[in-house]
Amino acid sequence: MKKIWLIGGTKDSVKIAESIVSEELTCIITLAAKNTNISYPISSYLTIKRGILNLEKIRLLCQQEKIIAIVDASHPYAVQISQQAITISRENHIPYLRYERASLSPSSEIITLDNFETLVRGNYLRGERTLLTIGYKALPLFKMWQNDAILFARILPKRESLEVAIKAGFSHKRLIALRPPISAELEEALWRQWNISLVVSKASGKQGGESIKRLVAIKLGVKIIIIKRPLINYPKQTNKMSDIMKFCCQSLLNNIDI
C-alpha cells in the first residue's frame, strides 16, 4: 500500500496526522526520539517508526513503504533530517512539502542573531544572569563563558540532556528540567527566582513558546536574544494546514494505478 511519509516530533505534526486520519490516507510517521510526550492518534491508517535516520535508511524506508509523498513537519532546527529528506525526494522524484510554522514579527526590543556562534563570540553574555532556553545540543558552545557570566539552562528531563549540560560546565543548581509547554506564570516565576537579566531563545514561533517569553521579558524588563532559524532551501513549503492536505490528496491521486 502506498503511503505518505510524515516527518514528526512536533505538535504541528500531530495536527497533520489527525488531518491525514480524517481523510483516511495511509501514513508512516518517523520520530528521532525513542521517548516523547507527543501523542499521535491511534489509527490503522498510521504507523509510527522511531529511531535516527540516515540517507541509506531513508532510501530503504521509501522503497519498502512505497512512499509517494513527503511531508516534513520536523522541528525548525532539525536541519539534518530535512536536508536528507530533500535529497531523497530529488533522487527518487518524490514530492516534498515542508510545513514551516509561522515566525513571529520582528521587534526593536529583541536582539536577533543569525546563530549561536555569533552569540558566544560576541560580548552579549558578559556580566549577565542568563537563562538559556535553547535545548541541550548547543550548550557546549557556552562552556567558555562559565567564568565570565552566570549561566542557567532549561532542558528536557532526559539523561542525555543532563549529561551534556554538566559537561558544558552547568552545575545542578543552575539547571532545571521541564517539559514544555511552559505557562507565562511559570516562566515569570523562574526568571524571578534566578533574578534573570537576559534570556536566549530559538525562533521557535508561538508553538515553541517564543511569544510567551517575549511577553514575560517585556513585563520584567529582561533582555531577550532570539537565534534565527537555520536557512534551508526547501523545494516547497507552507504554513497552512489546508495546503498540506491538498498536497497529500493530490499525491495519492497522481499515484493511483490505472
Q: Is there a single domain that holds both residue 95 and residue 128?
A: no
Q: Is there a single domain that holds both residue 22 and residue 59?
A: yes
pTM listed for this prediction = 0.86
Q: Is there a single domain that holds both residue 161 and residue 242?
A: no
Among 54-68, 94-108, 116-130, 139-153, the range scoring the smallest mean pLDDT is 94-108
For residue 239, give the 3-state DSSP assignment: coil
Question: What does the alpha-carbon distance between residue 16 and residue 29 come to, in Å, rounded to a whole number?
Answer: 11
Pick from 220, 141, 163: nearest CA to 187:
220
Residue 127: inside a domain: yes
Confidence label for 258 from pLDDT (cuts 50, 70 and 90): very low
The beta-strand segments (E) located in the chain are 3-7, 27-31, 46-50, 67-72, 96-99, 111-113, 129-133, 150-155, 175-177, 198-202, 223-227, 237-238
More confident of the two residues 15 and 257: 15
Q: Is there a single domain that holds both residue 94 and residue 33?
A: yes
For residue 237, give the 3-state DSSP assignment: strand
Burial of 183 (0-12, 13-18, 19+ CB in 10 A): exposed
Q: Contact at 8 Å (CB) between 104 and 214? A: yes
What is the domain extent for residue 243?
3-101+231-254
Q: What is the pLDDT of residues 189-238, one digit of tens each?
A: 999 999 999 999 999 888 778 899 999 999 999 999 999 998 899 999 99
Q: Is there a single domain that holds both residue 122 and residue 197?
A: yes
Q: Is there a single domain that holds both residue 132 and residue 198?
A: yes
Q: Contact at 8 Å (CB) between 73 and 7? A: yes
Q: Is there a single domain that holds both residue 223 and residue 129?
A: yes
Average pLDDT over residues 177-198: 93
Find the CATH number of the domain harbouring 87.
3.40.50.720
Confidence label for 35 from pLDDT (cuts 50, 70 and 90): low
Residue 197: inside a domain: yes
Q: Contact at 8 Å (CB) between 177 and 191? A: no
Domain count, the chain: 2
Q: Which amino acid, 59?
A: R
Report in angstroms the alpha-carbon separations of 189 from 76, 179, 193, 210.
28, 16, 6, 17
Number of neighbouring beta carbons within 10 Å of residue 248: 23
Residue 106: inside a domain: no
Q: Which triple of cell numbers denotes residue 159?
A: 539523561
Q: Is there a single domain that holds both residue 22 and residue 70?
A: yes
Angle at CA of residue 82, ends 97 and 111, nearest 5°: 100
Find the CATH number of the domain harbouring 153.
3.40.50.1380
Q: What average pLDDT does the structure give for the chain?
A: 92
Residue 203 main-chain phi, psi, to 5 deg: -80, 70
Q: Is there a single domain that holds both residue 119 and residue 223?
A: yes
For residue 131, give the 3-state DSSP assignment: strand
Q: Is there a single domain that holds both residue 204 and residue 237?
A: no
Question: What does the alpha-carbon distance between residue 225 and residue 209 come to, in Å, rounded to a whole number?
Answer: 14
Show Cβ contacts of residue 191 under 8 Å, excluding neighbours closer than 6 positions. Answer: 131, 199, 216, 220, 222
